Structure 1
Amino acid sequence: MTYAEEDFLQLSGLQHFAFCRRQWALIHIEQQWRENLRTVEGDLFHRRAHDEQARERRGDVLILRGLSVVSLTLGISGKCDVVEFRADPGGVPIRGEEGLWLPFPIEYKRGAPKAHQADELQLCAQAMCLEEMLCCRIPEGALFYGETRRRTLVPFSKELRETVRGMLEEMHQLYRRGYTPKVRRSKSCSACSLQELCLPALMKERDVDAYLRQAMEVES
């Protein structure tokens, strides 16, 4: 199966979905958003990585930033923070460069490694897009965390790839339905930038759009 361009979802939404399906739906279906300190710091951290004009060469490593990627089979598009192309006889040709190069995607995160797999899933999806675009196989990538200032190696296992595909299929189904999942309260709710929009203590039965419509009707 392949997706039409108008049906593409944002690749970055996979991280939101893995963290909280409701958060993803509020952002990507209901178009709700609210900044907090974490989101602002994260945005600034990513801007430093996303210098699309930068093309850096370090020996046998070519570094590209803000590289746009897409997958027709997954139905997603987005950008990679950094992709290191390493000279490798099993790699692929790159325009303007001699030899063959194997991509190694790197995603930058403001905080520290997490207990859940949201970051790993987003990185794996980037690799799967690159594989489809470049007709190659990417075995691993890395997450760079701002707090630890070091890379965490991420192998792109069969299980991780299957989880990416399964989640994206579910995301497409929910998006087509325009459905926002109900609240499932957790410890993560207190750190979510959408807490005041999600209203986890109140929205067990109602969606945010209905709540906001009612609030506006009362005010008018």
Structure 2
Amino acid sequence: MNISSPTPNDTDPIPLSALNQWSYCPRRCCLIHMEGEFTDNIHTARGTAEHKRTDDFRQENQAGRRVESALPVWSDRLGLVGKCDVVEFLPDGTPYPVEYKHGARKKWMNDDIQLAAQAMCLEEMTGKPVPRGAIYHASSRRRREVVITAELRQAVETCVAEVRAALRGLTLPPPLSDKRCRECSLVEICQPALLAERERRGRLAKNLFEPNGEGA
């Protein structure tokens, strides 16, 4: 399904979800945010169903903490915009973002980068440091706390720069052609196996005219 996105430019805010997509697979990120392509598979459908639990903004108090769901966040400095699934405000007002994911409890760097970006947005918005957050893994029904380290913050900065450069360049990155492709909902659009075979045949054809890998 083509969702028809406008041509991006340097002033367009980058969705927080694009950082997750880029960290997982740059080609997937560009197919979604540059080409406007998206389709569901069982993994994305489960993720969508899980996020429906936090899709509507609401505010409540739990164990002395103010808890807000579907909280809009942004960073003017980084040019980011998005929503936090849940933000718990500690008694001193410190935000604690919680990102919901449908899978089992496991560390994924792309999820940690998205959470760190949320923390950096909240810091800019509230003026309070956000040293920690959590990923809630729905299949395990458990949280995994993430420390927002200097290294993770730098990964966010790098990711933002790379995504912006890629969207500005309007050129699709090559497919990864690894085990991640089997789980990707865009595999039929991306065609990693077909492109890998085309590249292999190109190398074979080139070698026919360049014995021992050298030109005549």
2:97 is equivalent to residue 105 of structure 1? yes
Q: Tell me the TM-score normalised to structure 1 length.
A: 0.82
Give the partner amino acid of 2:72: S
2:139 is equivalent to residue 147 of structure 1? yes
1:73-120 deviation per Cα after TM superposition (whole angstroms, max 9, x unaligned): 1111000000000112xxxxxxxxxxxx11000000000234530111
**Contact 1:50/1:82, CA 8 A, preserved across alignment:** no
Q: Distance in 2 between matches of 1:13 and 1:114?
A: 20
2:41 is equivalent to residue 49 of structure 1? no
Which structure 2 residue ranges, 5 or more long, are not aligned? 1-8, 199-216
After the TM superposition, which residues 162-177 of structure 1 pair with which residues of structure 2 at under 5 Å, given as runs? Answer: 162-177=154-169
Query: How far 1:66 moved relative to its partner?
Result: 0.2
2:17 corresponds to which residue? 12
Sequence identity (%): 41
2:61 is equivalent to residue 69 of structure 1? no
After TM superposition, the runs of 4+ consecutive aligned structure 1 residues lying more than 6 A away are none
How many residue pairs match? The answer is 190
The SS at the match of 1:172 is helix
Q: Distance in 1 between matches of 2:49 and 2:148?
A: 27
Q: Tell me the TM-score normalised to structure 2 length.
A: 0.84
Q: Distance in 2 between matches of 1:122 and 1:141?
A: 11
After the TM superposition, which residues 198-209 of structure 1 pair with which residues of structure 2 at under 5 Å, given as runs? Answer: 198-204=190-196
RMSD between superposed Cα atoms in Å: 1.7
Q: Which of 116, 130, 134 in structure 2 is aligned with 1:138?
A: 130
2:185 is equivalent to residue 193 of structure 1? yes
Q: Distance in 1 between matches of 2:164 and 2:197?
A: 23
